Amino acid sequence: MNKPLLLGLVLGALIGGVYVALQRADLRRKGASLPARGMLPMLLRAGARLLFLVAAWWLAFRFTEADKYWLTGTLAVAYSLPLIWQLKQMGAKKE
């Protein structure tokens, strides 16, 4: 494997994994107690997560020699698969 491809895979998986970890932590926090202050804090946390995702992707895209296609593809897979799995489990519990 060449270095740009490997770097794209690693950075994509790392950024996606951190995003998913933040998302799941926020979902656990939401499930543990309903927010007393309304929707604004939840929207701010969601915006912060998206800002992290876009900023980390852009920094990796711009300032590393990672393969851009593998970086973006791995990032998309890394943050979507765990959330799809969780939605599938939630659907199975309802049946």
Please report, for the chain, the start and end positions of each structural domain, with discontinuous segments joined by +.
3-94
Q: Which two tokens stand for residue 88?
A: 């599938």
CA distance 91 to 71: 30
Query: Is residue 39 over pLDDT 80?
Result: no
What is residue 34's predicted lDDT score, i.e. its pLDDT?
A: 56
Rounded to two decimals, the pTM is 0.80
- pLDDT-wise least confident of 12-21, 31-40, 41-50, 85-94: 31-40
Q: HEC string of the chain?
A: CCHHHHHHHHHHHHHHHHHHHHHHHHHHHHHHCCCCCCCHHHHHHHHHHHHHHHHHHHHHHHHCCCCHHHHHHHHHHHHHHHHHHHHHHHHHHHC
